[in-house]
Chains A and B, each alone.
Chain A
Amino acid sequence: GENVEQHPSTLSVQEGDSAVIKCTYSDSASNYFPWYKQELGKRPQLIIDIRSNVGEKKDQRIAVTLNKTAKHFSLHITETQPEDSAVYFCAALNNAGNMLTFGGGTRLMVKP
């Protein structure tokens, strides 16, 4: 089955700096890669996603890149703010479209 690895497990940045979180996946047939943000005690919420037919997608301060050949994708947050502090999960959807496999999560701390 699919295996998703996520790094780093914790990331501390200064407010205004950029943050990058990286994920690799094992199933070359996976075609949909969402990113979820989970604040303490709350539900995971989708922040951005990318499909396998594009290499990059941007939404304001958040961008995601996908390298299908290398089977990795990354989340980039620019001009970080304290409210960006949360746990971020990447995920990969299997080819059958019926299972999301999540990475282990990255705890991002933005210091004011």
Chain B
Amino acid sequence: KQEVTQIPAALSVPEGENLVLNCSFTDSAIYNLQWFRQDPGKGLTSLLLIQSSQREQTSGRLNASLDKSSGRSTLYIAASQPGDSATYLCAVSTSGTYKYIFGTGTRLKVLA
């Protein structure tokens, strides 16, 4: 059974710092992996999606990498800003884009 773990559960950093969020999964036979952002009281917004055949994806200050053999993905945030404060969720699909297993998230606080 696929399990997704995110460590740490919470992280507090000063503005401007580069940071890495970690996601690990137990079954390397994945279809794709998504990183989401969730603001308090809101829904999830997809940040980056990495397909099984890809190693990384980039969008602006965000870079996500995927290493299936080790069951790991990282989300790199460059030059963090207070507006980046949110919960970041990692989700893995083993079959199609309709069925994801989610980690419990990392709650990020960027201090001004």
Q: Does B associate with A?
A: no
Interface residues of A (CB under 8 A from B): none
